[in-house]
Structure 1
Amino acid sequence: MHQELTSGVQFNFENQNKFKNVAISIDFIEPLAEDNLVERTMVAEMMENYSAKYNSKLKVARKLAELYGARFGTNVFKVGDVVALRIVITFINDQFLGGKINLIQQICEFLEEMIFHPYLIDGSYPTEPFELQRDNLVDYLHNLSDNKKYYAARQTKKMYFANDPMNAKLVFGNVEDLAQVTPERVANYYHSMLNDDNVYISVQGNLAAQQITTIKNYFNFSARHDLTVGMNENYDHQEITYKVENAVQKQSQLDLMYHFPVNLKSDDYYAAIVMNSLLGGSASSLMFLNIREKQSLAYYISSSFNSTMGFLMIQSGIDGDQAENVQIMIKQQIQKLIDGDYADSQLEKIKTSLISGYLTKFDSERKSLNDVFVKALVNNFVTKADWIASLKSITKADVAKVAQKLDLQAVFLLKGESNEQN
């Protein structure tokens, strides 16, 4: 069921009797260009842990325990040219409680409290809990930079998005800005988000019509401007950029980013999925088998395709003095895809693995619920059967055609000191 409740507010329900649980997510969507990442992050942090009624983490935890162990959380993420703040809760279906408890209503009351009744005093978040959440998040982000694999990926993305500063930022925003954000500023942003953002309400579970109506009635958002989601089609091409940094570590990281103009609604979307898996997205890929296994030139190597941002990224752990050889071999593997220089059986194995992975995601309530949301967001309501049929139809010629779209834009080497000494 897909329904527009009012302008800018959508309701999506998928009847699912596979799980004992019900899952509800509410996503607030705004253009990434508005640059409210820091404020949005802090709204998510405060909304997950506090409300006017449950004004401590302990009170929230106790309430969730009363709701038969419901799991509740928030997160912020990018999709194409928009950013989302998600509130999500999963809980046991009423039918497994003997029919004596209207848990749906209690869950809706809890969500209504957490979303619409923030922990504000005189129009602002209280200083102590706000600064605690903010400072903990800042510490986490600083520590994250110590992960060299993560650091190399971040630097590569900054190079790739050199002409697009908003996409170059973390979804949390700049750490320096986050450390300085005030409770008053975030409280003001909360109200504008609630009133202006597009809203996607997604529900999954084995529910009766009356239960669905109950959920709708609890979240009566006002009309707002209807937002169109773009997929970063207007990438600003650049000359290939190269950067080398030295690091106090033994292993080196070599990352490459390619412009790859394919998205969820492109005709060659399924060919792109197969191509990525053949290149480096699986243990049966050409890079894994030829660069890591046969030539022992990488400790790890993989590729990932971002279907809403239009890029493909290769990440590898190598000996720094082998960087040039690894780059040559990566180029050779892409050429193999263009030439069809791999076994037919490898293509079939990849497709079988992709279909298995696709079906497995529906074994998780939250992953399955996210699929409901993404379909609604990009207005692409493909069925499981159509997805599988489209994937199965991909040929070597399809893979070759889409592989030719790969356009290298950024190369980053984080070189370990042991290699530097050598």
Structure 2
Amino acid sequence: MRIVLGVGGGIAAYKVASLLRLFTEAGHNVTVIPTEASTRFVGTATWEALSGNPVSNSVFDDVHQVNHVRLGHEADLIVIAPATADLLAKAATGQAGDLLTNTLLMARGPVLFAPAMHTEMWQHAATRANVETLRSRGAAVLEPASGRLTGADSGPGRLPEPEAIFDAAMALVQGQSDFQLPLAGHTVTISAGGTREPLDPVRFLGNRSSGKQGVALAVAARNAGATVRLLAAHMDVPPPGGVEVVPVETALQLREAALAAAADSDVVIMSAAVADFRPAAVSDTKIKKRDDRDDPVITLVRNPDILHELVELRNSAAPGRRQQLIVGFAAETGDSDGDVLAHARAKLQRKGCDLLVVNHVGTDKVFGQDTNSVVILARSGSEPQEASGTKTEVSAAIISRISAELNSVSPRA
């Protein structure tokens, strides 16, 4: 596929290098057209090296090829990232002052704008009118992500992550109508991995969690346009790019991080495997094995119920505050008192979260594996939803369900 990648003059231009690599690694032929202002952030040499094609922003280069006409005609897709307020205004008003704006006027295929600018600029009536104009003409304009901007400010205006723009672009070319980012403007906090409770300086009580499912959830939420905060306990896999990572080790540290993160989160997903108990006392020195002493006795105390505490905190919020969606995970095994789903339904009732993702765990199931099979239970009483496949596929199903819950018009009880 022939893609024209237009680069606007914003600080987020540096992130577009990763988007270009995603396009080229997928086998697409990409011509980069940077605006003159954007070359003050990323030079043309970078775009030529990554695309393998010559780069220009002037209508007077290679005049014999009539590039200001040819590029727009030949492109199967045009992507503008970052789409600054200036570029959106020029595109909406049909200006043709450089090679990129000329190419936009000549476009015959789909056009995707990925905006990035300061919050006040994005929310200004002029910008909103330009966006509506472009959309009314058939262009796709993504909602920007929300999060840290240039300087100390935060809010909507961040460039969506390259992976999210790539997915939206591919969906647009395939004619899908749902290419928009369903979690754009939302902040999602996800816990992942397994907590470790120290016994002494070298030993701990832990579990088999690898963090793979939590990381896959973070990627899926990021690609859906969310601002993602990952509370990372022990994990066998690295955290993904484009998310804020908060490292934790123990259940108490996770509790502190989760309560703090929940304050500005629209969604909280507690997928970490949290220890139910911790040693009552932690030795300052290594516990020695000696023949002249009895075997040590380790006394355990109960860890706080973080999920239940988050629900209570949410439910006590001031009236009128936007509701928060809380998702729990349950690693269950059946026993003489009931099967996996029976235990999970009882847990959902106790915890009070909105959704509970249920895993049937065992020695060779779920933990550390690349595949998973889950059942999603809802406090609303709707039919259980099954999802299985790779942890990436399962995460996509979970994030899709969360998006549907957020967009539901029915209030949560």
Greater percentage in helix: 1
Q: Could you say whether these structures have the same fold, taking a TM-score greater than 0.5 normalized by the shorter chain as the test?
A: no
The higher-RCO structure (CA 8 Å, 6+ apart) is 1
**Structure whose CA Rg is larger:** 2
Query: What TM-score range do you get, normalising by the shorter chain?
Result: under 0.3
Structure 2 length normalisation: TM-score?
0.26
